[in-house]
Amino acid sequence: MSGITTSRQALRFKGKSYLALVLTPEAPLEAWLEDLLDLSTRSPGFFTTRPVVLDLSDAGLPPKDVKALINALDRMGIRVMGIEGARHLKLPAGMPPVLNGGRKTGDVEAQEETASSRAPKTGSMIVENVRSGQSIANGDGDITVMGSVASGAEVIAAGSVHIYGALRGRVIAGAYGNPHARIFVKKLQAEFLAIDAVYLAAEGIDPELMGQSVQIWSEDDTIKLSNLR
């Protein structure tokens, strides 16, 4: 045997940070899950575009109920990447990792990073109607639809959405963390509206604005609508 030895380079790991959507269960848990199911049903792409963290700091759930909750979220298509506020719990094997030290999105620094890193880049134009069952998405910028968006159709954009016909389906603007995005509609008959993480279902829309030309924006965690003149 030779006396030659070889050395291997040590493993190196890189760190990255990601902006996650934090879900905080509220009592009664059944009603909270119903609200999430309503949102995920109306807009299947809403949760698939971003990582999700489950914050159990104030939930007071035993480990078996935490597992049942994660299974319920998974059935809705909501995949939990980590659990916060659960270091005191002995969770069963196979659960998402326990996280700690997450930074709140209310911090000015975090908001500035979000706005700059998610700025819209490229617009998309759809020159025909968006039919029921279709899902149109642009992860880089605005979407302009020259026709109408049918009931059961969905338009998702990182930036703003402009619809020159009737909106009968669902629209999510600012879908990747842009709260300044807007929605412009020639004829409002929407099933569902959302900007960033703020949404409004059809029953919450002022009936007087139905059928009107409107602009839609987010302000103080509320969806605002006004007539276009």
Tokens, residue 121: 């880049």
- The pLDDT value given to residue 28: 86
**DSSP state for residue 204 in the 8-state scheme:** G
pLDDT band (50, 70, 90) for residue 25: confident
Higher pLDDT, 83 or 225: 225
Tell whether the model's pLDDT for residue 130 goes beyond 80: yes
- The pLDDT value given to residue 52: 84
Between strands 198-201 and 192-195, the pairing is antiparallel
Distance (Å, whole) CA 104 – CA 46:
21
Angle between helices 29-42 and 63-75 (to 10 degrees): 20
Distance (Å, whole) CA 217 – CA 182:
5
Higher pLDDT, 145 or 9: 145
- The pLDDT value given to residue 225: 95
